[in-house]
A and B are shown apart, each in its own frame.
Chain A
Amino acid sequence: MAGSSLNNFIKDVRGAKTLAEERSIITKASAKIRTKLRDDHLPLEKRRKNIQKLLYLYILGEKTHFGQVECINLIASEEFADKRLGYLAATLLLDESEDLLTLLTNLLNNDLNHPNKYVVSLALTTLGSLGSSELARDLYMDVENILKGSRDPFIIKKALQCIGKLITKDFTLLDIFDTKLITSILENHSLCTHGVLLGINKVLQSILLNHETFQLSLSNDGYADDSKPLLNELVKIIPELLSLLQSLSIKNFEPEYDIQGTCDPFLQCESIYTLRLFFEQTLDLSQYQNKFCDLLTQIATNTDGAKNCGQAILYETARTIFSLNLEQPLRVLGVNILAKFLSQKDNNTKYVALNTLLKVVDQEPETVQRHRKFISKCLRDPDISIRKRALELSFAILNDVNLVEIVDQLIGFLAGAIDDDKTLIVYTVENLVKILESHNISDEKWKLSILFESLKLAGTYVTSDITGDILISINNSKDTIQRRNLVVDMLMISLDETKNCEISEDNIAWLIVTIWCIGEYADEILEDPSCRQALSETKMTNFLVLQDKTFNISNKKLINYLLTAALKLSSKFKDSGCIEALRQIILGHTKDSDLLIQSKSVQYEIIFAQPQSVKKVLLETMPVFERRKCMKVGNTSPELKKIHKSTDKSSNVALLDLGSENDKKKDTEVANSSTPADLLADLFSSTSIDENTKNTSRNGKTVQISVSATKIYDSDTIQAYVQLISCDAGSAQIELYLKSSKAISDIKPFSAVPRTQKLTLGQLYPGNSLQKDEVCSQVLKITGTGKLKLRIKLDFKLNGVPVEQQFDYKFEQTL
């Protein structure tokens, strides 16, 4: 039986009891196929069977390169079954880079002109998926001829898809592209099946997306010409597209294309996207603008948003409105569509809505605000991806007016968070601390209570950087009475054995803050007679001794804080027993295996022995710390991941200042016997240096302009540098640096090279927006021949306003 050997093979593989057995079956089969394929006299039917087995191996993720030539042999066969399998195998096993593609050119050429339309269709599909730029150039005309000659929607559809792909492979094809190809099809309604229309959309999208590069390459070659003949021709198609879309959105029932009462969502979405690309071009389309806006409104009202297919169309509509930044009423409409998604049960719509709202919150802040209720509801969603987005969006819409409301919701989120949410918890606390700092909050008590509350709820997870930030916030609090009250509350919980079970044992951050607060504020607290009962010197000392025992080895960071607290208390406590106990803590670490702790305790021990008058000055309460600029979130809220990676360098430093660095300075100070004032000066100067060296750090990645790079362009906003990394025969690699002197966003560099060359662009690194004096870079690879020259056009947004700059540069090198 014909198919049996493949079936048996599949059964054998599936029947394997162990991975090892499966492996051995696969290896054996693979070797067998390899030998069989080498045999030139194998009958075609057997060859087909071997290729089928090979495809199964491909699905299993095995190596299949040895069958590549065989695919081509099958394609060359005259039998349809062979051709079909051969083409299928070719699209799967071969890829664009293979040298074998040249072997394909002739076969494809023959089959494109084959009398059987299915053979032609197979060839078109294969050309589309494998087409390298050479294949694209060689065979484009054949495809165009098929399009011109055929009256069969099936073939026309396939040819259109193929042309769309070929243009992306080689944009210079636009030079010979004839818009009549499309218009003549549109004129003949009997040809316009939905498949054909999808194909037309694809070709249009492909042209619109590649046109800019094409135009640049033209002007680079000296054909400076600002008129865009091709686009101006294509614009005439817009009315056609509009009326097509309109009829789709009204049409109620057409069984072939109907999905749950919606007419062909696929074609509707593709058409909206094509139109969007048209309106994104720098063309004067004002005559169609109103019609398009009306149509979007109509789609938004007519489409049934209860089912996924309708939602897909509504989603596309909303995205288009924001991407084109259409007029305000439409933007409100867009936000309302998305808000409706949020209110529904379906998780997918919630996810896309949150995701999109996050992007448009800058464009329409007020309207997004109105849907706060739904957003905060998503904070409690069972799906973590939705909670994550809802958190980001909560921070993005936070402002002075809703601050208290949203922060309370976020605390509610922390209270209900589960272990899975670790990264979300850290993200929330990190941003809460920043928010509390960056907004002007008059209610100091509320602010501090939020800090303590988040510590209590999330201290187990937060990083030491955040702990440091919280300490700074407490330290800098202006209302010392409120601060004292809250610290007392905190100590009441920590020091009372009946209450400290409220705090998780792993809540290190809470402990560190408690320890630090004892060291800093013990004297203030004990001055208050009402506290003296519950909180005595002995209780605090016992607490510290207990922590020392518990974390002696397991947590060195905490010990650092503990030592400093013990030292500080030595000048604050009066009870000699307590003071001795504190001394013992420090003494106990003078032989610590950790070198830093060891040296620190040895030095502390010396200070400990100093007379009270000397110590008083040294161990005074910490001064107010200056915050660094980076403590800012809110409307610019970048995505969670990014914030996460960036863990601000400066808060890192702040922590060191509070914890160990500070103490080290004190130590050196003892040695040099300089004054405390100098010490502070020192401290702050070290942080300011840190700020200067901060440079272009984003997401923890930095780009620096190479020293050997040449400046090729300079305007008041942006400077460009290039560096030639390599230049061999036929290929060159160039690094382009962009340095900005103002904060800009949405940077899009378009580069073009002479026509004899081909350009491959790398991605913009580290991202497409720059702060002042930041640098981003992009790698350009050029292959081909001729003089090396570049034309670069920069699109970016300065304060939200699009700016366009263009310049040329000629290298001395020639390819």
Chain B
Amino acid sequence: MEKPLRDIQMTHIKYLILASRQGKVRLTKWFSPYSPKEKQKIVKELTPMILARKAKMCNIVEYSDHKVVYRRYASLYFICGVMPDVDNELLTLEIIHRYVETMDSYFGNVCELDIIFNFSKAYDILNEILMCDGSMAESSKADVLKHVMTMDSMEGNDNLDRVLS
């Protein structure tokens, strides 16, 4: 896939895939433009590759023309594609961890089922943590939670308005 040179040097996560230990995809978010075919190919090739890795191995894998940073939390794998030489793989691990922590506070002891049934919430939280191009948008967990919850309550108010009117 051809991309303008300048696009290549921005620090950002190219995509995030959440996959279960059985290889089921639980969430995908693409920050760089990929065609549906490419998306399918990446998910299909990457998940078994990551699942096959042993626990002691490092969390960075080379895949295709880029690198993949992943971390396993209980039954769920968080997989991020990053730009080699530009992105800081260790920092990406921190970002993943921050995402998990935030969901943990939001759901209270988050587990895979929470994410399966509330995927749109998982997206909402992600959209507050990461910018539209996949780099860190907010380093305060409290701030992220505050805004997600305010928006949640605004949705509730909609319902309230309807009942009242």
Q: Please give the residue numbers on chain A whose beta carbons come within 8 Å of chain B beta carbons, in ascending order.
A: 7, 10, 14, 52, 55-56, 58-61, 63, 79-81, 84-85, 88, 91-92, 95-97, 116, 118, 121, 125-126, 128-129, 154, 157, 161-162, 164-165, 168, 171, 193-195, 198-199, 202, 205-206, 209-210, 213, 256-257, 259, 264-267, 269-270, 273, 308-309, 311-312, 315-316, 319, 347-352, 382-386, 748, 750, 759-763, 779, 781
B117 A348 Cβ-Cβ under 8 A: no
Q: How far is the CA of A37 from the CA of B131 in the complex (A)?
A: 31
Which of B5, B10, B135 has most chain A Cβ within 10 Å? B5
The interface residues of chain B lying within 8 Å CB-to-CB of A762 are: 2
**Within 8 Å CB of A266, what residues of B?**
91, 94-95, 136, 139
Is A198 a contact of B136 with CB atoms below 8 Å? Answer: yes
Q: Are the C-beta atoms of B60 and A195 separated by less than 8 Å?
A: no
- Which chain B residues lie closer than 8 Å to A195 at the CB level? 137-140, 143
Q: Identify whether the interface residues of A are mostly helix, strand, loop, or mixed.
A: helix
**B114 contacts the other chain (CB 8 A):** no
B155 and A763 within 8 A (CB)? no
Chain B residue at minimum C-beta to C-beta distance from A194: B139
Q: Do residues A348 and B59 form an inter-chain contact, with CB atoms below 8 A?
A: yes
A598 CB → nearest B CB, Å? 44
Tell me, in angstroms, the Cα distance from A256 to B90 when the chains sit together: 21
- Apart from A125-B132, A194-B138, list 14 A-B contacts with CB within 8 A: A61-B25, A84-B124, A88-B120, A96-B33, A202-B135, A312-B91, A348-B59, A348-B90, A351-B89, A382-B57, A383-B56, A748-B5, A761-B2, A762-B2
Residues of A within 8 Å of B39, CB to CB, are 61
The docked-state distance in angstroms from the alpha carbon of A385 to that of B63 is: 12
How distant is B59 from chain A, measured CB to nearest CB, in Å?
Answer: 5
Most-contacted residue by chain B among A126, A162, A256 (CB, 10 A)? A256
Asked whether, in the complex, the Cβ of A125 is within 8 Å of the Cβ of B127, the reply is yes
Contact partners of B40 in chain A: CB under 8 A: 61
Q: Is the CB of A118 within 8 A of B150?
A: yes
Q: How far is the CB of B105 from chain A (nearest CB, A)?
A: 13
Q: Decide if A80 touches B157 in the complex (CB within 8 Å).
A: yes
Measured between beta carbons, the chain A residues less than 8 angstroms from B5 are: 748, 750, 761, 763
- Complex Cα distance, B124 from A311, in Å, reads 29
Partner of B88, one of A91, A97, A312: A312
Q: Would you call B45 an interface residue if the criterion is a C-beta within 8 Å of the partner chain's C-beta atoms?
A: no
Give chain A residues whose Cβ lies under 8 Å from the Cβ of B57: 347, 382-385
B107 contacts A by Cβ under 8 Å: no
Q: What is B's interface to A at a CB cutoff of 8 Å? A: 2-7, 9-11, 25-29, 31, 33, 36, 39-40, 43, 56-62, 88-91, 93-95, 116-117, 119-120, 123-124, 127, 131-133, 135-143, 147, 150-151, 154-155, 157-159
B138 and A157 form a contact (CB under 8 A):
yes
A265 x B91 contact (CB < 8 A): yes
The answer to whether residues A259 and B158 also contact, given A198-B139, A199-B137, A315-B88 and a CB cut-off of 8 A, is no
* A88 & B11 in contact (Cβ 8 Å cutoff): no
Asked if A52 and B120 make an inter-chain contact with CB atoms under 8 angstroms apart, the answer reads yes
Q: Provide a sorted-by-A list of 6 A–B residue pairs whose CB atoms are within 8 angstroms.
A: A56-B119, A81-B158, A171-B6, A351-B60, A763-B5, A779-B2
Known: A168-B7, A270-B136. A760 touches B56 (CB 8 A): no
* A385 touching B58, Cβ below 8 Å: yes
Closest to B8 in A: A763
Chain B CB count within 10 A is highest, among A84, A319, A384, for A84
Given contacts A128-B131, A128-B132, A761-B4, contact A10 B154 (CB under 8 A): no
The reply to whether B6 and A210 form a contact with Cβ atoms under 8 Å apart is yes
Q: Within the assembled complex, what's the spacing in Å between the Cα atoms of A55 and B57?
A: 34
A14: chain B residues within 8 A (beta carbon): 116
Residue of A nearest to B65 (CB): A763
Q: Which residues of A contact B135 (CB under 8 A)?
A: 198, 202, 270
Contact A161 B131 (CB under 8 A): yes
Q: Does B154 lie within 8 Å of A309, measured CB to CB?
A: no
Residue of B nearest to A7 (CB): B117
Q: Which residues of B contact A350 (CB under 8 A)?
A: 58
User: Nearest chain A CB to B145's CB is how many angstroms away?
Assistant: 12
Residues on the A chain within 8 Å of B154, using CB: 80-81, 116, 118
